[in-house]
Chain A
Amino acid sequence: MSAPQANRMLQPWSQNPKIQKIIYPIAVGIILIAIWQGLVTGLNLPPYLVPSPVLMMKTLLTDWAMLGLALWVTVKITLFAFAVATILGVLISFVFVQSKRIESALFPYAVLLQVTPIVAIAPLIIIWVKDPTLSMIICASLVALFPIISNTTLGLRSVEPDLQSYFALNRASRWQVLWRLRIPSALPYFFGGLRISSGLSLIGAVVAEFVAGTGGTGAGLAYQILQAGFQLNIPRMFAALLLISLTGVFLFLFMSWLSRKALGGWHSSEVTGE
Chain B
Amino acid sequence: MNHSPVPAVEVLSANKTYSNGTQALLPVDLRIEEGEFVTLLGPSGCGKSTLLKMVAGLLDPTDGRLLLWRKPVQQLAEVGKKMSFVFQSPTLMPWATVEKNVRLPLDLAGIDPQTANEKVKEVLALVGLSKFAKSLPRALSGGMQMRVSIARGLVTDPDLLLMDEPFGALDEITRHRLDAELLDLWQKKKLTVIFVTHSIHEAVYLSNRVVMMAARPGRIVEEFQIPEPYPRHADFMVSTGFSHHAKQLQDSLMRASAGQEEHFS
Contacts of A169 in B (CB 8 A): 56-58, 83, 85
B44 within 8 A of A: no
Q: Does A63 contact B (CB under 8 A)?
A: no
Task: Sort chain B's interface into a size bin.
Answer: 20 to 34
Q: Are B105 and A170 in contact (CB under 8 A)?
A: yes
**In the complex, chain B residues 236-253 whose Cβ is within 8 Å of any chain A Cβ:** none
Name B's interface SS.
Answer: loop
- Determine the chain A residues whose CB is within 8 A of the CB of B58 once the complex forms: 165, 168-169
Q: Is the CB of A267 within 8 A of B108?
A: no
* Residue B136, interface by CB 8 Å: yes
Taking the closest CB of chain B, its distance from the CB of A266, in whole angstroms, is: 5
Contacts of B107 in A (CB 8 A): 180
The answer to whether A170 touches B57 (Cβ under 8 A) is no
A266 to B95, CA, bound (A): 5
Residue from the list B56, B83, B108, B138 in contact with A266, Cβ < 8 A: B138
Complex contacts, A160 vs chain B, CB 8 Å: 91
Contact check, A167 vs B136: say whether CB atoms are below 8 A apart: no
Also in contact, A162 and B108, with CB within 8 A (given A168-B58, A169-B56, A265-B138): no
In the bound complex, how far is the Cα of B133 from the Cα of A99, in angstroms? 37
How far, in whole Å, are A167 and B58 apart by their CA atoms in the complex? 11
- What is the distance, in angstroms, from B265's C-beta to the closest C-beta of chain A? 35
Contact of B108 among A171, A263, A268 (CB under 8 A): A171
Q: Is A166 an interface residue (CB 8 A)?
A: yes
Residue interface bits B104-115, CB-to-A below 8 A is 1, else 0: 110111000000
Are A266 and B136 neighbours in the complex by a CB distance under 8 Å? yes
Asked whether A265 lies within 8 Å of B136 as measured between CB atoms, the reply is yes
Given A265-B136, A266-B136, A271-B138, does the pair A166, B109 have CB atoms closer than 8 Å? Answer: no
Q: Tell me which of A166, A171, A181, A266 contacts B85 (CB under 8 A).
A: A166
Q: Is residue A184 contacting chain B, with contact meaning CB distance below 8 A?
A: yes
When each residue 137-172 of chain B gets 1 if its CB lies under 8 Å from chain A and 0 otherwise, what string results? Answer: 111000000000000000000000000000000000
A16 interface residue per 8 A CB criterion: no
List the A side residues contacting B109 at CB < 8 Å. Answer: 170
Chain A, 153-165, contact with B by CB distance < 8 Å: what is the 0/1 string?
A: 0000000101101
Q: Are the CB atoms of A163 and B91 closer together than 8 Å?
A: yes
Cross-chain pair count, CB within 8 angstroms: 52
Task: Determine how close the nearest CB of chain B comes to the CB of A37; give it in whole angstroms.
Answer: 48
Q: A171 vs B58: C-alpha distance in the bound complex, in angstroms?
A: 11
For the side of the interface on A, what is the size category? 20 to 34
Nearest CB in chain A: distance from B194 CB, A: 14
B171: min CB distance to chain A, Å: 21
Residue of A nearest to B89 (CB): A162
Q: Is A187 an interface residue (CB 8 A)?
A: yes
Contacts of A180 in B (CB 8 A): 93, 104, 107-108
Interface positions, chain A 158-200, Cβ under 8 Å from B, are: 160, 162-163, 165-172, 176, 180-181, 184, 187
Per-position binary interface string of chain A over residues 243-269, scored 1 when its CB falls under 8 Å from any chain B CB and 0 otherwise: 000000000000000000001111110
Q: Which residue of B lies closest to A262 (CB)?
A: B95
A-side contacts of B85, CB under 8 Å: 165-166, 169
In chain A, what residue has the closest Cβ to B86?
A166
Complex-state Cα separation, A171 to B108, whole angstroms: 8
Contacts of B83 in A (CB 8 A): 169
Q: How far is the CA of A176 from the CA of B108 in the complex (A)?
A: 7
Contacts of A176 in B (CB 8 A): 108
Residues of B within 8 A of A187 (CB): 95
Closest chain-A Cβ to B75's Cβ sits at a distance in Å of 12
In the complex, whether B80 has a CB less than 8 A from a CB of chain A is no
A263 to B89, CA, bound (A): 22
Instruction: Assess whether B94 is interfacial by the CB under 8 Å rule.
Output: yes
User: Does B95 lie within 8 Å of A167, measured CB to CB?
Assistant: no
The docked-state distance in angstroms from the alpha carbon of A267 to that of B57 is 31
- Cβ of B94 and Cβ of A267 under 8 Å apart? yes
Q: State the CA gap A256–B167 with chains docked (Å).
A: 38
Contact with B along A135-168 (1 / 0, CB 8 A): 0000000000000000000000000101101111
List 25 A–B pairs whose Cβ atoms lie within 8 Å, in order of A's numbering: A160-B91, A162-B89, A165-B87, A166-B85, A166-B91, A168-B58, A169-B58, A169-B85, A170-B108, A170-B109, A172-B108, A176-B108, A180-B104, A180-B108, A184-B93, A184-B95, A187-B95, A264-B95, A265-B139, A266-B94, A266-B95, A266-B137, A266-B138, A267-B94, A268-B138
* Chain A interface (Cβ < 8 Å from any Cβ of B): 160, 162-163, 165-172, 176, 180-181, 184, 187, 263-268, 271
Query: What 9 A-B pairs have minimum CB-CB distances, sorted nearest first?
Result: A162-B91, A266-B95, A170-B108, A266-B94, A162-B87, A184-B95, A163-B91, A172-B108, A170-B105
